[in-house]
Structure formats: structure tokens, C-alpha cells
Structure 1
């Protein structure tokens, strides 16, 4: 059961002396009764809401979104509504560096109200990079605190979780200008990063002068059996063609300001897919067969329904 966060000093039980006089016994009993009631209330309060915070992974490249999911379970026996304001939010995320120094939030975000029926669980996802500026690499910890509208102090606290922000040497890089911003240039970077036992591919955009990472996009798993191909088109967009599985390729595009344009999937055709530059300077994936997972799923469902028909039904 998650512990209840409270800045107050915990109750410390003290054994009553054995030689209390008759006159002092009623007062001692009253004090013990009050302490017992406070302890019972604390146990009851901590059991009202269960707060769980989870990561899908705990290692991130600098500039990459850091999503966390907070699950709230209502154990009070009645419907609960969590609501607050920018001044007093109903949920807080406390982030500390490994040195124990709290990070300063970027601002005071307003979280929308959440109503949780009795016995139900509601999950919300939050990107920590929208709340805090992670300007350094290293190890960090985070936990969340939620409060009911009538709770001005204390609250319900999740467990503390550790995560890491790191850097990696680029597999490929190229400096380009930023359209519409005279004198401004950014650097495209393609980064291979091993998380666990699987190779992951990332596209980064950094300020070419300061080196500050502006955006990091996780492109997914990559098989390095065939090296990724990278090209920059006439609009200064970065194109990345990479092998996802032995039978699937991805073609991702990133704009010079760091925006993710999109990704298409391909299967091998007569040859493996490749990047080609057309006469107008655009980049196109050629040699493969475009793959639409939605269309293929619909086709499989259609074939399955047709095969489910009895043999004696004809059209």
C-alpha cells in the first residue's frame, strides 16, 4: 500500500509510566485515546487512494520525451473527484537529481479534473519534459503526490522511481540551415542506442552553435545487418531508411526545426527499399512495396470471414 505523504512529524508512541496517580489517569487515557484516533484516521486515509507511477523504460536519450503513467485507484467506497487549479494542482511530480537537488518546474501546469468511481482505476500519462527542463545528463528520481480538493497539505504518494538521461555518439550527422530563420543552423543526428539487448534508433536535432539538443525522436528498433541510409532533401528535411525486421523497413522524415513529419513502412519487392533523389531535389523510397498495416488487417479479416462461410453457400 503506498504511503501517505505528509510534512507533519510522524506519531511516536511512548509507553505510559506504571505509577500514574489516580488523578492523572483520566488525562493519560484521554491523550492515548486521541493518539489512537489519529492513528486510525491515518490508516483510513492512506487506504482511500492507491497511487502507482510507472515507466515503459528507464533509460532515455537527452531531448527524448519522458512519459510516465500515473494510475489512481479509488478505495474509499464512494466516488472521488480530483480537481485543482494552477495555483494548487491536485497532482505534483517531484523530480530530484542523484545529488538530491530538486529540479525547478518550468511553470505551473493546470491538470484537468478527474472523477474516479468507487473501486475503479484511472490512468493518466504525462511527459516529464513538459514539466521540467532536463538540461543535464545523469540519474534522476521521481514520485507523484495527489490530493483531494479538501486536502491542503499531505496527500497520497507513489513509490519513488529512478531513471537515467544519457547521450550517445551519433552514427551520422549533418548541419543544415533553418528555413525562415536567417543565420540559424541546426544539426541532424542519427543515433544508435542499445537499450537492454535490442538496438534502438533515434533522430536528433541540435542547435549547431551551442550543441543544445532541441528534439529527440525514437524511431524504434533497428537491425544493423544493413546500415541505415540517410539523406537530406531540397527542403532540408532528413530522410532515414532503416531495417526494422528482416521483412520490414521504415522511412522516417524529420524537419530542420526538429518536427517529426512521418514514417512509412515497406516490404522488400524485387529489391530491398532504398532512397533515391529525384530531379527536383526530393527524396523518395524506391525498390520496395509500401505496407499499410490497417489495410492488411482489413484484408485478413475479410478473408477470414469469407473462409468461415459453409461450403454449400455460393455467390
Structure 2
């Protein structure tokens, strides 16, 4: 009988641990400072009954714990729980969350991230395994100061565009960054797309002080990106190099930018029918899109 109580305690502990299974994944290990970091949280319901997460007035059911390289917790990161989510018994859901909307680490170094899911009925929290990631940085390959035009937040201030080349473990990408020119504070950092350096990117500013970049995304496919003075990606379009007619970007005397050469290419469009010419392969789609 004296062994019964510990055994019952162990059984209860295992039962509580089995309510939810929580896992967390990141798309890669290395990120640039201030880059948006998307996380995918997977929750499997092991309660034996339908589980309800969130909903109006229920509060947050999902939170994240970020730690620095010493294990010190950083800012709390709760996710809005207004959306009602139902998980059938044994069912699984996935939530994609931009964790940097709550806190974006700026210091170069190693970080850890856990996801926590609340089980309201028991008051328990179920935590994923810790995922490690690195914040790093890169020197700009191109920089240009500009004044923020009227109609944009921060109008009249001086900022700076920077274009950066970032090589990860298995890929190379082109990034854009907006910096406050006076304080040198990094305001926005985001990925323009995968890049091949077989041809150097073309980079310029147009008459509206927009950043325009044309670069080789993969063999035969070029990407054209436009960034607004307030640091938002306005446009990303693609062109195919056809029979040596390589796309190129030009700036006229009035500050207007045009892309000439190549053929416009939509990677999200369905493949043409067999009778349509020219045809394209699924492999034409630039990786990472």
C-alpha cells in the first residue's frame, strides 16, 4: 500500500503531461538583426475530448519565451487569443506566428525560443522544446541617404537605404534595410529574395525616393523589388531571361526607372496548357517563394 501513493502520483503526472503535445519550428537557424522571424507552432490534442483555444474574452492561450545566450528571459511575448480555435480529440493544428512582432532581438548572438500553450481547464501550461537560433549581421553592399517625402511617416527626416548580401548555411539572399541617418538606428530589415551572384544586382533610387533593385533570383529568372521610403516592400515581380535577352534596369534623366528585356514571369500562375507556348516548368519557380 505504501507504494500506491507514489504510483498514483506518477500516473496523474503522466496524464497531465499528455493533455497537449506542443512543437515549435523556425524556417532556418540564422537571421539578420531586426529581420522578421516566423515561427510555426504545432499543437496536438491528447485530452480525449474536443479542445477549445482562445475566443473573445478568453485571453491568450499561446505565448513565447525568448532567452539570450545565458538563458536569461527577455521580454514576455503573448499572442492575441481572440480567434476561436477548436481541436478535435487526437487532432492537430498549426499556427504561424511572427514572433518578432512582440519582440525583435537586435544584439548579435545566440537565442532560445519556446512556445507555451495554456490548457484552461487544468490551469496547466504545455511547453515545446527549446529552439536555438542566431542573430547576425552583414555589411551593406550598397547604401544611399534620402529624405522622407511628404505623405510618409517621418516626413522630412533623413534615412538611409542599405542593400545587404546574406549567406546562410545553404543559400544566399538579398536584403533591404532602412536606417535613421542621424542616429544610425536600424528601422526595418527584410528579405528581398534568394540571389545568385552570377550577375551583380542593379540598385538605384527613383524620383519618389523609392529603392529599386533588380537581381538574379535563380538561373534565368530575375526579381525586381521596389521599397518605399517608410521601409515597406511595395512590389516584387519576376522576369525571365529569354534567348539571351537579359532583363536590365535603367534610370532616365527624370528619375523614372524602367525594366527592359526579358519576359514578365508570374511564379504563382498555373502552368500553361500543353498547347500553349512557351511552356514553363515547376522548377522555374524561385526557391523560397
Give the TM-score, by structure 1 length.
Answer: 0.80
Alignment partner, residue 33 of structure 1: 4
Alignment partner, residue 281 of structure 1: 255
- Indicate the SS of the match to 1:174: strand
Which region of structure 1 is more displaced relative to structure 2, 210-219 or 184-193? 210-219
Q: Assess, with a 3 A threshold, how the Cα gap between structure 1 residues 103 and 294 changes in structure 2: closer, same or farther.
A: closer
Partners in 1 of 2:129 and 2:40 — Cα distance?
13
Q: Assess, with a 3 A threshold, how the Cα gap between structure 1 residues 151 and 301 changes in structure 2: closer, same or farther.
A: farther
Alignment partner, residue 155 of structure 1: 125
- Indicate the SS of the match to 2:272: helix
Following TM superposition, by how much is the alpha carbon of 1:84 offset from its aligned partner in structure 2, in angstroms? 6.8
Contact 2:34 2:104 (C-alpha < 8 Å) held by counterparts: no
Q: Does 1:59 align with 2:33?
A: no
Contact 1:141 1:162 (C-alpha < 8 Å) held by counterparts: yes
Alignment partner, residue 194 of structure 2: 221
Alignment partner, residue 179 of structure 1: 149
- Indicate the SS of the match to 2:229: coil
Alignment partner, residue 133 of structure 1: 104
Partners in 1 of 2:274 and 2:114 — Cα distance?
44
Contact 1:83 1:148 (C-alpha < 8 Å) held by counterparts: no
Partners in 1 of 2:79 and 2:258 — Cα distance?
41
Alignment partner, residue 175 of structure 2: 202
Gaps of 5+ in 1: 1-28, 305-315
Q: Does 1:50 align with 2:24?
A: no
Q: Does 1:117 align with 2:96?
A: no
- Indicate the SS of the match to 1:145: strand
Partners in 2 of 1:97 and 1:82 — Cα distance?
29
Partners in 2 of 1:302 and 1:268 — Cα distance?
22
1:81 corresponds to which of 21, 36, 52: 52
Larger Rg: 1
Partners in 1 of 2:160 and 2:57 — Cα distance?
36
Partners in 1 of 2:224 and 2:55 — Cα distance?
43
Following TM superposition, by how much is the alpha carbon of 1:236 offset from its aligned partner in structure 2, in angstroms? 0.4
Following TM superposition, by how much is the alpha carbon of 1:279 offset from its aligned partner in structure 2, in angstroms? 4.8
Q: Does 1:293 align with 2:264?
A: no
Following TM superposition, by how much is the alpha carbon of 1:200 offset from its aligned partner in structure 2, in angstroms? 1.2
Contact 1:84 1:149 (C-alpha < 8 Å) held by counterparts: no
Partners in 1 of 2:268 and 2:42 — Cα distance?
30
Following TM superposition, by how much is the alpha carbon of 1:157 offset from its aligned partner in structure 2, in angstroms? 1.1
Contact 1:266 1:288 (C-alpha < 8 Å) held by counterparts: yes
Contact 1:86 1:109 (C-alpha < 8 Å) held by counterparts: no
Give the TM-score, by structure 2 length.
Answer: 0.87
Aligned length: 272
- Indicate the SS of the match to 1:300: coil
Contact 2:106 2:135 (C-alpha < 8 Å) held by counterparts: no
- Indicate the SS of the match to 1:281: coil
Contact 1:105 1:133 (C-alpha < 8 Å) held by counterparts: no
Following TM superposition, by how much is the alpha carbon of 1:44 offset from its aligned partner in structure 2, in angstroms? 1.4
- Indicate the SS of the match to 2:14: helix
More helix by share: 1
Partners in 1 of 2:56 and 2:3 — Cα distance?
39
